[in-house]
Amino acid sequence: MQKRRLGRTDLLVSQICLGSMTWGQQNTETEGHAQMDLAFARGVNFIDTAELYPIPPKAETQGRTETIIGNWMKARGNRDRVLLATKVVGRTASDWFRGGRPSKLVRADIFDAIDKSLAKLGTDYVDLYQIHWPERDVPWGANPTRVGGTPPRADSTSGDETPIVETLAVFDELVKAGKIRHFGLSNESSWGLMRFITESEKGIGPRAVSLQNAYNLVNRTFEVNLAEACAREDVSLLAYSPLGQGYLTGKYDHGARPAGSRSQLFNRGQRYETPNAAEVLLEYSELARSFGMEPALFAGAYVASRPFVASSIIGATSLPQLEIALAAAAVVWTEDMQKAVDAVHQRVGNPCP
């Protein structure tokens, strides 16, 4: 499996990153350990998690995923061979993260988050610490195809919004304290990314090395503005949802809702149930089969093959699913495949941003 440089760091991450948000809810600890064993045997060296996980977020399950990962690293004695990424929540009214109060991207809350994460993970540091979503009032994913109302001014704030410069200074403290090695963003916009970079270049805090945003066949919005910004600023894309929460595997085609699937269990697939999405998803499934590939393998191979993707974050609830997701790294993506994908995209755009 290829290794790719993470931003301007000396870290070489596997082109497939093992996502973990099902461990502790859809998957047991034993199943999570089995997934990590298999992924690392296939050449993965990178795990992504978050203080929020598992999904769906609930007070009674929050933090289980980090504990499962920590127990696995302790049992295997392999912390030095794992590149570990986790995240702090952005602004949220959910009060279980901070012991009964809402959370913001301020010093007290960020330090509370990292200290709890380190304890659950059983480690003194994380290799990459990311802001899960902005504190600003922006659409989820922060790269929409439409914006309602009047876009905010560059110098405006929303109520008591924490300034980016203040948040960034806290991450500087975390680096200097040895709690984190590098800093990254997630679900961020072009404006947000460049503001963080601008402030870091003034000497305020660490430079963002990565951006974790959704990217897949039905959501290529990263290519519009963020691709150039990331390329010129050496910020690596960590692409999440390469299979569109399972909607690009074909299992939901023709309205199917398999028992035990995330959509059937939790009804959280609205991002992939937009008008016309079902028809487009079916078209990509049929395109994959025209190349002799299962839709899951085709969709995963597309994302893993993109030159601007440092690592594609995969998730699975079973080992057979994980095998297919890992196999995407070995697919030779051809010019004919790209032309076919681009022809569909030219007609349908990004139905699931």
Tell whether 91 is covered by a domain: yes
Tell whether 291 is covered by a domain: no
| Portion of the chain with pLDDT greater than 90, in percent | 86
Tell whether 88 is covered by a domain: yes
CA–CA separation, 125 vs 178, rounded Å? 6
HSE value, Cβ hemisphere, 13 Å, CA-based, for 14:
26
DSSP for 170-213 reads HHHHHHHTTSEEEEEEES--HHHHHHHHHHHHTTSSPPEEEEEE
Tell whether 289 is covered by a domain: no
Active site residue 215: no
DSSP 245: G
Count how many domains the chain has: 1
Tell whether 92 is covered by a domain: yes
* Range with lowest mean pLDDT among 155-169, 221-235, 298-312: 155-169
Tell whether 9 is covered by a domain: yes
pLDDT at residue 253, as a whole number:
81
pLDDT one-digit tens code per residue, 54-72: 999 999 999 999 999 999 9
Q: Are 4 and 307 in contact (CB under 8 A)?
A: no
Q: Are 193 and 208 in contact (CB under 8 A)?
A: yes
Top mean-pLDDT range of 148-157, 273-282, 283-292: 283-292
Q: One-letter amino acid identity for 256? A: A
Tell whether 340 is covered by a domain: no
CATH of the domain at 31: 3.20.20.100
User: Reduced to 3 DSSP states, what percent helix, strand and coil does the chain have, rounded to the nearest 5?
Assistant: 40, 15, 45
- Average pLDDT of the chain, as a whole number: 94
Task: Name residues whose C-beta falls within 8 Å of residue 245's C-beta, 6 or more positions apart in sequence.
Answer: 262, 263, 268, 269, 271, 272
Polymer length in residues for the chain: 353
Residue whose C-alpha is closest to residue 151's, from 199, 198, 189: 189
DSSP SS3 for 331: coil
DSSP 92: B
pLDDT at residue 254, as a whole number:
81
| Portion of the chain with pLDDT greater than 70, in percent | 93
pLDDT one-digit tens code per residue, 70-93: 999 999 999 999 999 999 999 999
What domain range includes position 325? 3-248+302-334
228, 233, 236, 239: CA torsion to nearest 10: -30
pLDDT at residue 271, as a whole number:
86
Tell whether 341 is covered by a domain: no
pLDDT band at 270 (very low <50, low <70, confident <90, very high): confident
pLDDT, average across residues 168-178: 98
